[in-house]
Amino acid sequence: MKKRIPLIIAAAALLLFSGLFLFLYLYNDTLRFRHLTEELFAESFRQDSLSLHYTLADPSDYLQKPSPATLPLYSRQSRQEAAAVLENQLLILQEINPERLNKQDRYTWSLLVPYLENELAGAHCEYYEEPLTPSSGMQSQLPVLLAEYSFRTKEDLEDYLEILESIPAYLESLAQYEKEKANAGMFMTESDANSIVKQCDAIMDPALLSSGEHFLQTTFQERTESLVQEGLLTGEEMEFYIAENNRILTTLVAPAYTALADAIFLLSGSGTHQGGLCELPSGGAYYLYLLRHNTGSFRTPEEIQAMLSDQFQSCYQNLQALVETYREQTGSTSITLSAIPEFPFENAQEILTDLQQRIQADFPPLSALTDTLPTCRTKTVAESMEDYTSPAFYLTPPIDDLEDNVIYVNNSSTSPGLELYTTLAHEGYPGHLYQTVYSQLYENSQTANPVRSALFYGGFVEGWAYYVENIAYGYASDVLLANGAPNATTLLVDIACLERNLQVNLYCLLDLSIHYYGATRQDVYRSLAAFGISDTETADAIYDYIRTEPTTYLKYYLGYLEILALQEKAKELWGQDYTRLRFHTFLLQAGPSDFTNLEKRLKETPVTRTTIAYTKTDKKLAMQ
């Protein structure tokens, strides 16, 4: 026995040393990954106080806020520096062995590598990015973001005023960028420039500013009054800040918008490019970058075109069958969607309440993740902004304060009834609001690393919203039938759904035709005429939107088709264990991702039914 003691001690020492070596071996990559992602996250907001405020309610735990609060400046040097940082981050990331990371970090690593590779490819395409577009340019987006900038503290209010003061420098940098684009032969068309000038003149309306009725004045007063009610501001301080806001808007912001309009006006006519991206020297490469960045799909354009064409044919055949069935049931030879009855809802809030009730069977409850359910306010877009904003949009809340949510509805372009119902499903439940809150709550429960919130996965986010919007047409039929509508109404609702899908699918095919294959305006006229759109003004509007917003429709519809493809794969893999609830939970817990990684994650998911909810009681994953 005595002879064995040294051997036991030696073995124990060896085991201890091996364990320590293994710990340090694994810990090294974990530490490097944590440091890299912290740097990547901080770099995303280093000079962008507005985006930081919308991402974190309290950034103190993650990074140092820019001081003073500011907007990022466009410059060639800053873009080149950002590309160099990106390249360095990618090299460090590729040196980390993902097998030494925990499951959550390993998935984040698998997302970051292709994401950064694609961003680096895009960074090499100088002057292809267009921050000023007629439909979604920063000249119209910035005021909306400012109007919804939340004042949680007095410091937030002061940061907001500092951001306002930085607007002249920001808009001047945009003007300089556009001058550089013009010198490189990449400036926008004359009609686009005229639209930008018109918007700049209208957005900062001098008559509204002088009367104190501009929405950046009225919303500011509402927010400061809330701080007074909460005891965070005195009445005297409120009056001072309101006067300061008015001063900055009238003496700094409005003149800056005028200066931007003047700069664009002077450059108007210098643009020589009138068509799709493929006509430009690196346009094909930039379009591939946009496809991957905006859709999260790594399919080739040829594969995407085939996918869209197959779906178009299937939808068209289904539509023909529905039309025939409707005619047989009603004896009507003509079909008009205006025959769909009115909905029994007084306002948007009632629709959101109805949707929350209807999704319970097929979507996991938010109550499993939080004791405090999110609130949602619906607002209408200011009249001065109606021509320049979407039919509706959801403002994403900070990842550390998900309770207060806002949906804007543009009354000038969203009709009441079926359109409003499905739009609120897209923006609210079970669309953007629900997906954002659920996915972020789940992510927060798994890791304190916020880096994924700095990544953009428009295909997942908009694809999900479009997917559930399609489901909401079924909910709409149930609402109408429950309120006495004839059975044939469901056919009309289904026809409306298919017509919308065919329309968006067609626009996606046109996007590929214009930007990848080089279709001209006349080519698009002919394509649209084949589908009954022969009005030149309408055809021009469609062409110009797709020309100035490449891959935007694909972000929605290709994302939707990718989700349908994942759904079919889940049915194949899970067999009798497949349910819509389980599939939806899989997507929500995975969170915004590219579709290649989602498919890989799906294949790694156990076939038998696994966790689909997170319990509040013990904070452990639980079977359902």
The overall average pLDDT reported for the chain is 91
**pLDDT (0 to 100) of residue 62:** 86
> Is the pLDDT assigned to residue 422 strictly greater than 90?
yes
394 within 8 A of 405, measured Cβ to Cβ: yes
Q: What is the 3-state secondary structure (H, E, C) of 532-593?
A: CCCCHHHHHHHHHHHHHCCCHHHHHHHHHHHHHHHHHHHHHHHHHHCCHHHHHHHHHHHCCC
Digit-coded pLDDT (tens) for 306-365 = 999 999 999 999 999 999 999 999 988 888 888 899 999 989 999 999 999 999 999 999
Q: What is the mean pLDDT of residues 56-79?
A: 88
Q: What is the strand order of the sheet 392-395 is part of?
A: 375-380, 404-409, 392-395
Of 76-80, 120-124, 275-279, 424-428, give the lowest mean pLDDT range.
76-80
Helix or strand run (H / E) with residue 500 = helix 488-515
Q: Which residues of 192-202 are buried (b: 16+ CB within 10 A; e: fewer)?
A: bbbbbbebbeb
Digit-coded pLDDT (tens) for 452-511 = 999 999 999 999 999 999 999 999 999 999 999 999 999 999 999 999 999 999 999 999
Residue 93 zone, left/alpha/beta (φ > 0; ψ -120 to 50; rest): alpha
Digit-coded pLDDT (tens) for 538-594 = 999 999 999 999 999 999 999 999 999 999 999 999 999 999 999 999 999 999 999
**pLDDT (0 to 100) of residue 450:** 94
Residue at token pair 């998900």: 402
Strand partners, 407: 378, 394
Could you give the dihedral angle defined by the CA atoms of residues 72, 77, 83 and 87, in that order, rounded to the nearest 10 degrees?
-130
514 within 8 A of 547, measured Cβ to Cβ: yes
* The pairing of beta strand 375-380 with beta strand 392-395: unpaired
183 within 8 A of 269, measured Cβ to Cβ: no
> Is the pLDDT assigned to residue 420 strictly greater than 90?
yes
Residue at token pair 């194949």: 572
CA angle (475, 577, 616) in 5-degree steps: 75
Digit-coded pLDDT (tens) for 370-409 = 999 999 999 998 887 787 788 899 999 999 999 999 999 9
515 within 8 A of 291, measured Cβ to Cβ: no
Give the HSE-up count for residue 47: Cα atoms under 13 Å, Cβ half-sphere. Answer: 12
**pLDDT (0 to 100) of residue 329:** 92
Q: What is the mean pLDDT of residues 417-421?
A: 95
Long-range contacts made by residues 147-152, C-beta under 8 angstroms, separation at least 24?
Answer: 147/215, 147/216, 147/219, 147/382, 148/219, 148/395, 148/406, 149/50, 149/53, 149/223, 150/53, 150/57, 150/223, 150/404, 151/223, 151/224, 151/226, 151/227, 152/57, 152/401
| pLDDT-based confidence at residue 32 (cuts at 50, 70, 90) | very high
Residue 346 is classified by DSSP as S
How many other C-beta atoms are found inside a 10 Å radius of the C-beta of residue 606? 10
369 within 8 A of 441, measured Cβ to Cβ: yes
Give the HSE-up count for residue 122: Cα atoms under 13 Å, Cβ half-sphere. Answer: 18
* Chain Cα centroid distance, residue 266: 33
* Chain Cα centroid distance, residue 12: 55
**pLDDT (0 to 100) of residue 34:** 94
3-state DSSP: the chain helix, strand, coil percent, rounded to 5?
70, 5, 30
**pLDDT (0 to 100) of residue 609:** 62
Taking CA atoms, 621 is separated from 364, 368, 437, 452, in Å, by 13, 10, 18, 21
Residue at token pair 């965070």: 232
What is d(CA 39, CA 63) in angstroms, rounded to the nearest whole number? 9
| pLDDT-based confidence at residue 27 (cuts at 50, 70, 90) | low
Q: Which has the higher per-residue pLDDT, 13 or 277?
A: 277
40 within 8 A of 136, measured Cβ to Cβ: no
Task: Provide the token pair at 82.
Answer: 């950002």
> Is the peptide bond prior to 68 cis by the omega test (within 30 degrees of 0)?
yes
544 within 8 A of 524, measured Cβ to Cβ: no
> Is the pLDDT assigned to residue 23 strictly greater than 50?
no
| pLDDT-based confidence at residue 617 (cuts at 50, 70, 90) | very low
What is d(CA 125, CA 286) in angstroms, rounded to the nearest whole number? 6
| pLDDT-based confidence at residue 614 (cuts at 50, 70, 90) | very low
**pLDDT (0 to 100) of residue 214:** 95
Task: Provide the token pair at 46.
Answer: 């280093």
What is the percentage of the chain residues whose pLDDT exceeds 90?
Answer: 82
Long-range contacts made by residues 525-534, C-beta under 8 angstroms, separation at least 24?
Answer: 531/506
Taking CA atoms, 158 is separated from 68, 280, 393, in Å, by 10, 44, 27
592 within 8 A of 439, measured Cβ to Cβ: yes
Strand partners, 178: none
**pLDDT (0 to 100) of residue 386:** 83
Residue at token pair 């009798």: 576
How many other C-beta atoms are found inside a 10 Å radius of the C-beta of residue 51? 15
**pLDDT (0 to 100) of residue 25:** 46
Amino acid residing at 319: L
What is the percentage of the chain residues whose pLDDT exceeds 70?
Answer: 93
What is d(CA 597, CA 112) in angstroms, rounded to the nearest whole number? 11
To 10 degrees, what angle do helices 536-548 and 488-515 make?
60
